[in-house]
Amino acid sequence: MLEPPGKPVSDRTSVELFAGGGGLAMAVHRAGFRPLLVNELVKHACDTLKANVAESRGGDERIPSAGERWPLVEGDVSRVEFGYLWDRVDLLAGGPPCQPFSLGGVARGDEDKRNMFPEMFRAIRQIQPKAVICENVRGLLRPSFRPYFEYIERELKLPFEERDDDTTWRDHDEVLRARLSEEPADPKRRYQVVTTKVNAADYGVPQIRNRIIMVAFRSDLGVDVAGFEDAVRPSHSEAALVRSMLDGTYWKRHPDVPDQVRRRVMSRLPTTPPRDDGMLPWRTMRDALKGLDGQPPLPDVPWDRLDRREYNLGGFTDHIGWPDARIYAGHTPNELDRPAKTVKAGVHGVPGGESVLLTDEPLPEPLGHSPYPYRHRYMTVRETARVMTFPDHWRLVGPRGEQMRQLGNAVPVALGAFFAKAIAAALDEAESQR
């Protein structure tokens, strides 16, 4: 996967809110940021963080040293105080719960008590970080929510203009508009905001996942915002994947694909290759299961082991067969030679078939009415973690439903790392010019 240019400094610091199963926190850490505090509410997600990299902090406000486990504050973010971290944090990261804005949620927007953007702004006021990164669903850009989303952007630009409890967001928005038309009295209290619409597949993630990523840089730092926008442009494309299939390079990477599967995939491609856009090919489900970036292949799940039982299947944890997968109209499977569908925070009853995998094995008795002539099953948790670009060593804690929920709510690690590395490079460049 392509990475933004530049090498982050050795000891940048971060704070992670709404950490969940650790996708964005892991990404930020990979970009060279050392966590000073990580917060999460859900018990199983906290247990996942503790099983891998974190330990409960309790009431201790000590700044950890390099190499220590991440200090985890378990519980409601509204009860966390950040004042002791004032001006000591390079990057504040988090994906505020998205149910108020998601097509899968109640969609009540800022009326919904699950809207945690106000807590992000409170943390900014108490920390004054150099940069902020937030990930959220594309639902924020729907016409019905667009005015509120633009208000959130203005709040992120002026987080120290605090909204009173008895003030409506529309009235507060008018105040923010007026302030933004004025020169800032203190540039440290104003941020430059870049909002990027992303499809994770365009950044080397083997999954179609449409989101928005908001990044803010403190105005006094003089960050080259235009340069940052250039650094986070997509690196992969569907057209490049199609070209690689037509010229055979994709199939050379997967020589064990059955002839009938390859013929079926090729029959749906255009006869003329798309124009060369200079991009790398989208990564597919097959790429993920065979191993990306040095990972070993995941072994196939035997059809007689769809029994919900853990056993040593190639030494991989959470690679457990699950029975009763179905395909029907509106509930179609993931195909191996495409990026996966969006991983959602559910188990196996998620509408759309996002957790169903179509294999290469023909059905014993082909169904005349089915467009899918191959056997199918539910994806394992480990396969789902692969398409979220979680490393195989990352242990997810809890029953299957909770593990899948953590993955569905996470930021793909590779996507988060791409943006976090670009943020680190932008900060490095700005500081070198001062």
The catalytic site residues sit at: 98
Q: One-letter amino acid identity for 162? A: E
Exposed, middle or buried by CB within 10 Å (0-12, 13-18, 19+), for 215? buried
Determine the 3-state secondary structure of 100 from DSSP. coil
Helix segments in 181-273, DSSP class H: 225-231, 238-246, 249-253, 259-267
108: left (phi over 0), alpha (psi -120 to 50) or beta: alpha
Handedness of CA 141, 384, 361, 265 (dihedral sign): positive
N- to C-terminal Cα distance for the chain? 31
Helix segments in 247-393, DSSP class H: 249-253, 259-267, 285-290, 381-387
Q: One-letter amino acid identity for 345? A: A
Paired sense of beta strands 210-218 and 131-137, if any? antiparallel
Quick one: tokens of 380?
């394992």
* Main-chain dihedrals φ then ψ at residue 287, nearest 5 degrees: -55, -45
Quick one: tokens of 364?
């014993």
Determine the 3-state secondary structure of 232 from DSSP. coil
Are the C-beta atoms of 16 and 38 separated by less than 8 Å?
yes
Q: One-letter amino acid identity for 318? A: D
* Main-chain dihedrals φ then ψ at residue 34, nearest 5 degrees: -95, 120
Quick one: tokens of 346?
């559910």
Determine the 3-state secondary structure of 216 from DSSP. strand
Longest Cα separation, the chain = 74
Are the C-beta atoms of 108 and 120 separated by less than 8 Å?
no
Q: How big is the CA angle at 423 (ends 22 and 342), to the nearest 5 degrees?
A: 45
User: Quick one: which H or E segment has residue 334?
Assistant: strand 334-335
Q: Mind giving me the DSSP string for 345-367?
A: SSSS--TT-TTEEEEEEEPSS--
Q: Which residues contact 185 (CB under 8 A, 6 or more apart)?
A: none
